[in-house]
Amino acid sequence: MSNTLSYPELAALLQSRAGVTVDPGDLERPGAEFDAFGVDSLGLLGVVGELENRHGLKVTSGAESAKTPAEFMELVNSSLAAKAGA
């Protein structure tokens, strides 16, 4: 896996950790919000936990409260980039 999270990977994680089926393209659409997909903060917390376990890093706190996929991706990917640069 590359060192950035992609929308298809996020969609797969939402499926396995929150049980929510969502099209990666819909996640990427401008103005998309987690609420509209039925993803709650516990679901996002599960995704964060999975990413942290996979990559052995700490995702910036607050990612689980992100309102939009874009915001979530930015927080996760900046954590991944920080680790890669460290």
Partner 1 sequence: MTSRQQGRRAVVTGLGVVAPNGVGADAFWKATRQGVSVLDRISREGCTGLPLRIAGQVRDFEPQSAIDNRFLVQTDRFTHYAMAAADLAVADAGFRPDPEDPFAVGVVTAAGSGGGEFGQRELQQLWGQGPRFVGPYQSIAWFYAASTGQISIRGGYKGPCGVVASDEAGGLDALAHAARAIERGTDAVVAGAAEAPLAPYSMVCQLGYPELSLAERAEEAYLPFTAKARGFAPAEGGAMLLLEDEQAARRRGAAVRAHLAGHGATFTGASRWAESREGLAAAIRIALDRARIAPEEIDVVFADALGVPEADRAEALALADALGPAAERVPVTAPKTGTGRAYCGAPLLDVTAAVLAMEDGVLPPTPNVTEVCHDLALVTDRARPAELRTALVLSRGLMGSNSALVLRRGERS
Token duo for residue 14:
């939402």
What is residue 18's DSSP assignment?
Answer: I
C-alpha span between 20 and 3 (Å, rounded): 24
H helices present in 1-86, as ranges: 7-13, 24-28, 34-37, 41-55, 69-85
Is residue 62 involved in binding partner 1 (CB under 8 A)?
no
51 or 85, CB closer to partner 1? Answer: 51
Indicate which single residue of 2, 30, 31, 53 sits in contact with partner 1 (rule: CB under 8 A).
53
Helix, strand, or coil (residue 19): coil
48 or 75, CB closer to partner 1? Answer: 48
30 or 39, CB closer to partner 1? Answer: 39
> Which residue reads 């950790």 in tokens?
17
Indicate which single residue of 3, 21, 61, 65 sits in contact with partner 1 (rule: CB under 8 A).
21
Residues that bind partner 1 (CB under 8 A): 16-21, 38, 42-43, 45-46, 49, 52-53
